[in-house]
Amino acid sequence: MRKVSALLLASERRAISGLAGLYASRMLGLFMVLPVLALYADTLTGSTPLLIGVALGVYGLTQAILQIPFGLWSDRIGRKPVIAFGLVLFALGSMVAASADSIGAMIAGRALQGSGAVAAAIMALLADQTREQVRTAAMATIGLSIGVAFALAMVIGPWLAAWAGLAGVFWFTVLLTLLGLLVLWQWVPPAPRRQRHRDVSMDRRQLKSVMARPDLWRLDTSIFALHFVLMAIFVAVPYRLLEAGISAAHHGLAYLAIMGLSFVAMLPLMIVAEKRQRIARLCVLAIGAIAVSLAGLGLPVSEGYWLFVWLFIFFTGFNLLEATLPSLLSKLAPAGAKGTAMGVYSTSQFLGAFLGGTLGGVLASYGGLDAVFLGCALLATLWWAAMLKMPSPPPLTSEVVALDDTEADTMDVLLERLANVAGVEDVLVVPEERLAYLKVNRQQLDQTALAKLVTPLKP
């Protein structure tokens, strides 16, 4: 085995910055529609609350169906061509939505946007471009970019729609996508290799074992429910802000204040929970807060300043879960199966977005705005009850160690030696990849014993 410096190479810095920006700009284009579509789609022919909900969430359906095929396709023909094709589809979908004069055309455009399902291919290209020692930090940068994109979208979307209309939001998305294509081909370096990465890519051989684990199912259910309620309530939240006397042009300022305060509130909670190993309890608390806030939004007490109180509570809980659920997944996923676990997790997220938008439209059509919030509150209460007994995960982290050209018959010896190191909880050695995937308990890890294995094993 070998150790390599964890300092970023110039090519790695370019790959991380370029791909994180590309991922964030794509998510920004998807999220900007969230706070404005319900308000501005009323002018489209055939528009109803149900169909507006479908338009909000339909991108999740095509994302869920196509993200795994796109990832597998990139393994075969190359990352950049697949990513470029997906971005072209995304741009075409944005153009269709920008030109739509009916709700049917809007739904078609949003579905076409979602068909550019390049998230897995982007992550795989980032893995190709980075060494194992810096890959975790690289992936964390992508995760951070998504959070920033969501916060910016809540602010930029309403401002852009007030200035240029709903079509302007989609044309701005087209511009972002064209810039993304330029970044992909001119800034992101060519990948030195192309292979499957078990910490990033889906492995169908591991799918059954991953899906059979109750602890991972809890996380899949959580991200499903989280994005379900997010999409559902944005059928109604913009109208609540109008009722509170805030014009559509100023919704961005309202979201800016709410999101900013929620980020400030969540940071100390996350730090304390991580330090005291209470992440699971924090998740249950956040789910409970979401359930209470949704109930509050559906009752008469949501009037006046209480509307902003409930929205602040909701987004604090949302941001906490959006940040902690992937961390829990990383801790709980078996060694070498993180990519597969993340594939199931992401599919659950996209399905939640689709069904949430659709059901939110149904509830708004037949029960009004209050029914949307109260229906989501009921779902969140069931979700909270299902998560109550979730055990706190052990303080495990993932490690990927590169192997030298070790003979195949020494792999079993290597596996046994790694497994016997104190603090190493799980090991997977993959000879064809020349990698060892470890799950380690940092508090118990015998660093000296592990360091002794950093020399090639002799047969």
* Domain annotation covers residue 89: yes
What pLDDT was estimated at residue 192? 64
Cα dihedral sign, 6-10-13-14? negative
Q: Do 45 and 67 sit in the same domain of this protein?
A: yes
Q: Do 77 and 125 sit in the same domain of this protein?
A: yes
- The DSSP call for residue 15 is H
* Domain annotation covers residue 459: no
Q: 422: domain CATH number?
A: 3.30.70.100
Domain that residue 345 falls in: 212-393
Q: Do 20 and 162 sit in the same domain of this protein?
A: yes
Give strand pairing partners of 437: 400, 428
* Domain annotation covers residue 21: yes
Residue type, 410: T
Q: Do 18 and 106 sit in the same domain of this protein?
A: yes
CB-based burial, 113-140: b 16+ in 10 Å, e otherwise: bbbbbbbbbbbbbbbbbbbbbbbbebbe
Q: How far apart are CA 107 and CA 91, in angstroms?
A: 15
* Domain annotation covers residue 206: no
* Domain annotation covers residue 77: yes
**Which strands sit side by side in the sheet containing 396-402, from one edge to the other?**
396-402, 435-441, 424-430
Boundary-marking domain end, from 393, 423, 442: 393
* Domain annotation covers residue 97: yes
Q: Do 24 and 128 sit in the same domain of this protein?
A: yes
DSSP for 103-117, please give it.
HHHHHHHHHHHHH--
Q: Which residues are CB-contacts of 334 (< 8 A; sequence separation ≥ 6)? A: 206, 209, 210, 341, 426, 428, 439
Tally the domains of the chain: 3
Among 152, 90, 93, 81, smallest CA distance to 122 is for 81
Q: Do 389 and 401 sit in the same domain of this protein?
A: no
CB-based burial, 12-32: b 16+ in 10 Å, e otherwise: bebbbebbbbbbbbbbbbbbb
DSSP for 339-405, please give it.
HHHHHHHHHHHHHHHHHHHHHHHHHHHHHHHHHHHHHHHHHHHHHHHHHTTPPPPPSEEEEEEE--S
Boundary-marking domain end, from 201, 225, 251: 201
pTM of the entire predicted model: 0.86
Compute CA 438 distance to the chain's CA centroid, rounded to the nearest angstrom: 24
* Domain annotation covers residue 207: no
Boundary-marking domain end, from 201, 224, 250: 201
Q: Is 204 exposed, middle or buried (0-12, 13-18, 19+ CB in 10 A)?
A: exposed
Q: Which residues are CB-contacts of 340 (< 8 A; sequence separation ≥ 6)? A: 198, 201, 202, 203, 206, 207, 210, 333
CB-facing half-sphere around the CA of 341: CA atoms within 13 A: 25
* Tens-digit pLDDT string for the chain (459 aa): 444 445 777 888 898 999 999 999 999 999 999 999 999 998 899 999 999 999 999 999 999 999 888 887 887 888 899 999 999 999 999 999 999 999 999 999 999 999 998 888 888 888 788 876 677 778 778 888 888 899 999 999 999 999 999 999 999 999 999 999 999 999 998 766 655 666 666 666 777 777 778 888 899 999 999 999 999 999 999 999 998 899 998 999 999 999 999 999 988 988 888 777 788 889 999 999 999 999 999 987 667 789 999 999 999 999 999 988 887 887 777 766 777 788 888 899 999 999 999 999 999 999 999 999 999 999 999 999 999 888 777 777 767 766 666 555 566 677 777 777 777 777 777 766 667 777 777 677 776 776 666 444 333
Contact present, 149 and 176 (Cβ < 8 Å):
no
Q: Do 61 and 173 sit in the same domain of this protein?
A: yes
Q: Do 376 and 247 sit in the same domain of this protein?
A: yes
Q: Do 51 and 195 sit in the same domain of this protein?
A: yes
Q: Do 338 and 379 sit in the same domain of this protein?
A: yes
Q: What are phi and psi of 397, to 5 degrees?
A: -130, 160
Q: Do 411 and 376 sit in the same domain of this protein?
A: no
* Domain annotation covers residue 458: no
Q: Is 77 exposed, middle or buried (0-12, 13-18, 19+ CB in 10 A)?
A: exposed
Q: 128: domain CATH number?
A: 1.20.1250.20
Name the CA dihedral angle for 374, 379, 384, 387, rounded to a multiple of 10 degrees.
Answer: -170
Q: Do 261 and 235 sit in the same domain of this protein?
A: yes
